A and B are shown apart, each in its own frame.
Chain A
Amino acid sequence: MLKLEKRNKVDSEIPSSSMADIAFLLIIFFMVTTVFSATRGLEFQLPKEEDAAVLDEVEAVIITIRQDTKILVFDEPKELDQLVDYLVEKWLNNNPEKPVILITDPKAPYYAMVNVLDALQRAKEEKNLVKDINVGIPTQREIEEMWGGIV
Chain B
Amino acid sequence: MKKVKIRPIEANIPTASMADIAFLLIIFFMVTTVFTVDRTNVNLPLSVKREEVPKGAAVVTVTIDQMMKFSGGREESFVVSSAEDLISLAAAEVAKNSLHPFVIKADGEVPFRAVDEVMDRLKQAQVRVLILLTNQKTVES
Name A's B-contacting residues (CB within 8 A): 19-20, 23-24, 26-27, 30-31, 33-35, 37-46, 48-49, 65, 104-115, 117-118, 121-122, 137, 139-142
Contact = CB atoms under 8 A, between A and B. Distances in A.
A115 B39 CA distance: 24
B56 interface: no
A26 B21 CA distance: 13
B29 to A, nearest CB: 3
A27 B21 CA distance: 11
Contacts of A65: 112
A106 B120 contact: no
A110 B111 contact: yes
B122 to A, nearest CB: 7
Interface of B: 18-19, 22-23, 25-26, 29-30, 32-34, 36, 39, 44-53, 103, 105-116, 119-120, 122-123, 126-137
Contacts of B123: 46, 49, 139, 142
Contacts of A38: 44, 105, 133-135
A57 to B, nearest CB: 18
B132 A42 contact: yes
10 contacts: A35-B39, A37-B36, A43-B129, A43-B131, A49-B123, A106-B111, A111-B109, A114-B45, A122-B49, A139-B119
Contact of A34 (B33, B39, B115, B116): B33
Given A31-B29, A38-B44, A40-B51, 17 more contacts: A23-B26, A41-B47, A41-B50, A41-B103, A41-B131, A41-B134, A42-B49, A45-B130, A106-B113, A106-B116, A108-B111, A109-B111, A110-B45, A117-B47, A118-B49, A121-B49, A140-B120
A108 B108 CA distance: 10
Contacts of A114: 45-47, 108, 132, 134
A16 B32 CA distance: 27
Contact of B111 (A24, A107, A118): A107
